[in-house]
Structure formats: structure tokens, C-alpha cells
Structure 1
Amino acid sequence: MNKKIHIYTDGSSKGNPGPGGYGIFIETFFGHLYNRKIISEGYRYTTNNRMELLSVIVGLEEIKNKKQNIVIFTDSKYIVNTIQNKWIYKWEKNNFRNKKNVDLWKRFLYFFYKHSIMFYWIKSHNSHYINDYCDRLSSIASQKRFLKIDHVYEQQI
């Protein structure tokens, strides 16, 4: 029996840049067994693209075993296009010269090479119940009283 892992992600920021957050819904299927995990976090000053990418990274960090088959569902064209159009390989070869969010792309690649990952784009705010749930999680996380600091982003501005 093969294990299947689905990771649904969303990220947002109010003001872009501004307070932001991410929401993640992970579901794991193993035969008749099913497990789910929900994660969200907020940051005091960040961008939408950083939160979209960080949500994917944090979701992948939750997968402890190597060489897993993972499907990531996201409404971020920024991420999907970068992977599906294979821009990521050119960016990596050029050491991400003139690219934004280099810290996160490098962190992403560590997990990208550990697993077999497929990306599916979901149209946002289109009544996909898990994507809508992740959107609510990210929004609520960005409104918490105590928000994390996106140190790399805040040092760059």
C-alpha cells in the first residue's frame, strides 16, 4: 500500500507588505487510514508571496520520511509557474541573482529534492472548501496579538 500526502496551502498579507500569515491543511492517506494536520502562523511584516512560499515549506517540513509522493494544492501562480515552467532550475543555476525571496526558495529546494512533488493550481476564492479554509487560517493568523518576525524580509527593507 502506498501512502498519499496532500498539502493544501495559502498565504496572505494585509497591505503587501504588511501583517501576514499562512494556513496549511495536510492530509495523509494510507490504505483505510486517514490523518490530517492543520497549521497556521502569523508575521508582523511580510509579503503575500513570502507567505505563499513559506506555507509550502512549512507543510513540507512536516513530512519526516524522505522520498514521499506529495501533491501540493496552492492558489499561488508565483509558485506553480516557477516549478511547472522549470524557472527554479535556472534561478538556482544563477544563484537566484536578482530574484526575490531567495532565502525561502533555497529552503524550499532542500525539500523539493527530497520528495516526489506535484503542484496543482487552485483558483482562489472559487468555493474550494479546503483552499477557502486555508485562506481563513492565514487571515486569522495575521491578526493574532503576537506575531512572529520575518527577520530576513525586515532586514532587507
Structure 2
Amino acid sequence: MKKVIIHTDGGCEPNPGPGGWAAVIRYNSEVQEISGGEENTTNNRMEMTAVIKALEALHEPHEVELYTDSEYLCKGMMEWLPMWKAKGRLQKGSVKNADLWQRIDELMSRHLVKCYWVKGHAGNTDNERCDKLAYEEIKKIYKQKGQTPPPPIQMRLIS
């Protein structure tokens, strides 16, 4: 099985509001960046969409090292999802974002996925790149609406 390293990030400004997601996919020396956005969403949905789009980009089964700054996502994938499935909670709709969790579950069944949490805005190069790409998607949405986007979160944290 081929090994791939994926970093993902997602967010929105405000939450809920316009959102962006991004992934950096590394296979050997190849690097692929993907990103997108939605006009009305939540941070968690964008974090999850980043993983979905990254796993969809893999056209055959891979061993995946997935890095995210979302504890919700990482714990959901590695701990909660197996429990929700065993109890039938995804099908009952008693889990928030069940539609996305179901898609993540489908994609994880094709790959051997291990998820690792990384601290956001802490100098991880690929996480920082994803953050920038996701924010660029948010900016596009604001500009399409003729509005000024808010500054990126790291700028708000400094001021």
C-alpha cells in the first residue's frame, strides 16, 4: 500500500458563516494542494470537508498519515466514529454533521488512516499552508459578495 501524508484545515469567519477548507497532500516528492469554500457553513464542517476532499483525491487505497489542528475531527475519526457505528447512531441522525461523518467513514474504509492532532498556528509548515489556503477561500466568498473579509485569525490573536 502506498503511503501518503495529508495536512488539512478548515474554518469560517464568523462561525457560522463563509468558510474555507484546504489540504496539502504529499506522496514521495509530489505535493498537491486543494481548497474550496462554502458561503454558509461552520468550522467543523469545513475541517471535515477538507479531509473528505483529500481522501477523495486518492484514486487507490493508501496508508494515510492525516494531520489536523481539529481535535474534534481527529477524535471523531479515531475514537467516536467506531462507537457511533457500533451503536447505529450515524443512521439515526443523532450525531451532528452525520452526513459528513458517513462520508468520512466510507472513505476511511478504502484507506488505512491514522489521524494526528497538531497545534494550530504553531509553525507546522503544512498546517500553516492549509490555514492560508482556507482563508483565501473565505476571502473569495467575501469579495464575491462585495464585502471586506475579516483579518485572518492569527492577526486577530496578535492585536
Percent identity between the two aligned chains:
36
2:89–2:95 Cα contact (<8 Å) kept? no
Aligned to 2:31: 36
The amino acid across from 2:124 in the alignment is H
Within-5 A mapping of 1:124-135: 124-135=120-131
Shift in Å, 1:83: 2.7
User: Bigger relative contact order, structure 1 or 2, given CA contacts below 8 A and separation 6+?
Assistant: 1
Q: CA deviation at 1:109?
A: 0.6
Q: 1:146 to 1:42 in 2, by over 3 A?
A: farther
> CA separation in 1, counterparts of 2:144 and 2:114?
34
Listed as ranges, the gaps of 5+ residues in structure 1 are 148-157
Cα deviation for residue 11 of structure 1 reads 0.2
Determine if contact 1:42/1:143 at 8 Å carries over to the other structure: no
- Residue 79 of structure 1: how far off its partner (Å): 1.1
Post-superposition CA distance 1:54-96 (Å, at most 9, x none):
1001000000012x11100100100111233x21122123232
SS across alignment from 1:15: coil
As a proportion of its length, which structure holds more helix?
A: 2
Structure 2 gap segments, 5+ residues each: 146-159
Cα distance in structure 2, aligned partners of 1:129 and 1:82: 24
What is the SS of the residue equivalent to 1:126? coil
For residues 87 and 65 of structure 1, the distance between their equivalents in structure 2, rounded to whole angstroms, comes to 26
- Give the distance between the partners of 1:128 and 1:87, measured in 2 at CA: 26
Q: For 1:47 and 1:113, locate their aligned partners in 2 and report how far apart those are by CA, in whole Å.
A: 25
Aligned to 1:89, the other structure's residue is in SS state: helix
Q: Deviations over 1:81-128 (max 9, x none)?
A: 1233x2112212323242111110001111111111111111000011
Partner AA of 1:125 in structure 2: H
Q: CA RMSD in A?
A: 1.5
Taking structure 2 as the reference length, what is the TM-score of the superposition?
A: 0.83
Q: Which residue matches 2:40?
A: 45
Choose which of 98, 103, 108 in structure 2 pairs with 1:102: 98
Distance 2:31 2:130 in 1: 13
Give yes or no for contact 2:9–2:127 (8 Å, CA) kept in 1: yes
Q: Residues of 1 paired with 2:46 and 2:3: CA distance? A: 25
SS in structure 2 at match of 1:10: strand
Which stretches of structure 1, 4 residues or more, deviate above 6 A after TM superposition? none
